[in-house]
Amino acid sequence: MVKILIYTGLSLPFSEAKEILDSHDDIEVVYKRPIKRGDLSHDIKENPDIIAIIDGVFHQNSAVGHREILSVMKKGVKVYGSSSMGALRASELDVLGMEGIGYCYNEYASGNVTSDDDVAVMLDSETLEALSVPLISMNYVFTNAVAENIITKEEKDELIKITKETYYPKRNYAQTLSQSSLDADKKGKLIDFIRTSKDIKKEDAKELLNHIKSVIEWI
């Protein structure tokens, strides 16, 4: 029996996650809410073989610590990270064995982003619904909008400057665009582009689950 603990619910709803990876045959998959400090020391008692950290708390409670992750890895547990808190911690601990997956991890690992502020969002603590948009997601969409000639690099820089100056719980596309100098026509085109753009944190979470799925097929 292979046991897997996955901390998510924000970047990827549990229902969508289970469509990719769920318990079957000799695989037990347990989904848990975003990780906070102390969870690993408690949950290690469940004797997992694999732990995947996708979402975690940043400011609502104390964040999961490096020593907690290192402690479970020393017990032989394989730990993965992506999307949000998992991407950040994986970039800090990849040289010690934690494995990062996806765009957000690569942004941290490359040094393009360095702060937890880039992935932080305000959330509804009951439903785990995101109530704001993370900076890393907005930067991803605006960068693609430049590549598609919807906005210029200078306009993207203005939008990112506005976003960075906005406290993370209040970040959203409407607020950023309302403060920008973009004309109405360009705003309309950008809004249409935003609506059809991928949620990169969700895509990273899916990539991680699919990676774990491929790994356990060989166990």
For 25-71, how does the pLDDT look when each residue is reduced to its tens digit (9 = 90+)? Answer: 899 999 999 999 999 999 999 999 999 999 998 876 789 999 999 99
For 109-145, how does the pLDDT look when each residue is reduced to its tens digit (9 = 90+)? Answer: 999 998 889 999 998 989 999 999 999 999 999 999 9
Q: How far apart are CA 7 and CA 30, in angstroms?
A: 9
Q: How far apart are CA 190 and CA 182, in angstroms?
A: 10
Q: How far apart are CA 143 and CA 156, in angstroms?
A: 7
Residue with tokens 């990273």: 204
For 178-198, how does the pLDDT look when each residue is reduced to its tens digit (9 = 90+)? Answer: 999 999 999 999 999 999 999
For 79-112, how does the pLDDT look when each residue is reduced to its tens digit (9 = 90+)? Answer: 999 999 999 999 999 999 999 999 999 999 999 9
pLDDT of 219 reads 62
pLDDT of 154 reads 98
pLDDT of 54 reads 98
Residues contacting 36, CB < 8 A, separation 6+: 56, 57, 60, 61, 62, 63, 64
pLDDT of 49 reads 97
For 13-24, how does the pLDDT look when each residue is reduced to its tens digit (9 = 90+)? Answer: 999 999 999 999
Q: Got the DSSP string for 32-80?
A: ESSB-TTHHHHHGGG--SEEEE--B-SSSSPPPPHHHHHHHHHTT-EEE
- Domain 2-116+201-216, CATH: 3.40.50.720
Q: Where are the domains of the chain?
A: 2-116+201-216, 135-198
pLDDT of 218 reads 75
**Across the chain, where does the E strand assignment appear?**
2-7, 27-32, 50-53, 78-82, 99-101
The answer to whether residue 209 scores a pLDDT higher than 80 is yes
The backbone torsions φ and ψ at residue 172, rounded to the nearest 5 degrees and listed phi first, read -160, 165
pLDDT of 60 reads 66
The answer to whether residue 217 scores a pLDDT higher than 90 is no
Q: Which range (60-64, 74-78, 84-88, 155-159) has the least confidence?
A: 60-64
pLDDT of 125 reads 86
